Structure 1
């Protein structure tokens, strides 16, 4: 009996660790999470129990865990998009559309919310406009429903001016957005990053392109294993 319980506990731990380090892709994150979780769970069960029963148990555990991860990402993205009066947009070309000031996307590993600079701050300032403060506050209120989500806020500028100046401005803007989120009473683990003019969406060779590159991005991660460096 003790050995069976030990195997089950070990199996749950292994599946959780494997899922934590992997991510689903595709059109339905919930479906992909179920499939990926089942596969990883089956592998873990076979490795630990070396029998069909362990494999089946592992697949069941993995399916449940993978489905929860996928559902959480889908649900967060949809909740946030609705609260901001938009939909989830996973088209990579949307970031190049100057008419798109706000984009909520879900790549299966994390949710990202992109705010264009022009709707967020006065020129050269890190003070949120009243409308931007209202929108960021809405995101914060949604995050109260997802206390385990890891939050990362990154700021980006164009390449006018020195790197250090733009780093300070980008980080100050990211910090302002992060502070606004936390004024809604969330307790999520968080990171704040200033990217200066690193990782431009397009070359900084025109006013139009510079406006596309000035932005703040909020990343929502299910765990630390999928966290990215937004500046690269």
Structure 2
């Protein structure tokens, strides 16, 4: 309860992509850190595509998961993953969830946003760019939330893709840049927002990878 409250009040990490990879690896690592006292806050998960997973796999179980691992010696290890403190649907049609995401992105304590949304999740097209702040693709929603962070004081943030694709951080940057530039061109956002998302002292897009599978 103390971890959940601290995470709610002073969030540091949001993850987009509520599937098995996230629960079995990033959330499990944080779970170990919490259990050993190395960290004091959980992770907030947001799903921008398959909203049903929040209703079926997260909220009925208080955001807890059971990780079952087959060891090299044939034994089975079971571990409860309790590091996920909130699960949110990342879309404006879910008003309370979206308002909470805006609040999180405005928080000075937020340090990192990570992604397991598959390579297709970083795509965008002209139709979605034209939707402005009501974009429905993941990178458009992310950019809309980043604009809230920009307006809250141009606060810094790391955008960390962990999807298994080459130069994955560049996929995030390309998407955010495309939306920001189009919106600035259309007069939807301030011109300074484009400078903000391109300023490496404010927003960073590192490369990384998780080369693992998690069967259902």
Q: Normalising to structure 2: TM-score of the pair?
A: 0.35
| Higher strand residue share | 2
Higher Rg of the two aligned structures: 1
User: How does the TM-score come out when normalised to structure 1?
Assistant: 0.33
Structure ranking higher in helix proportion:
1
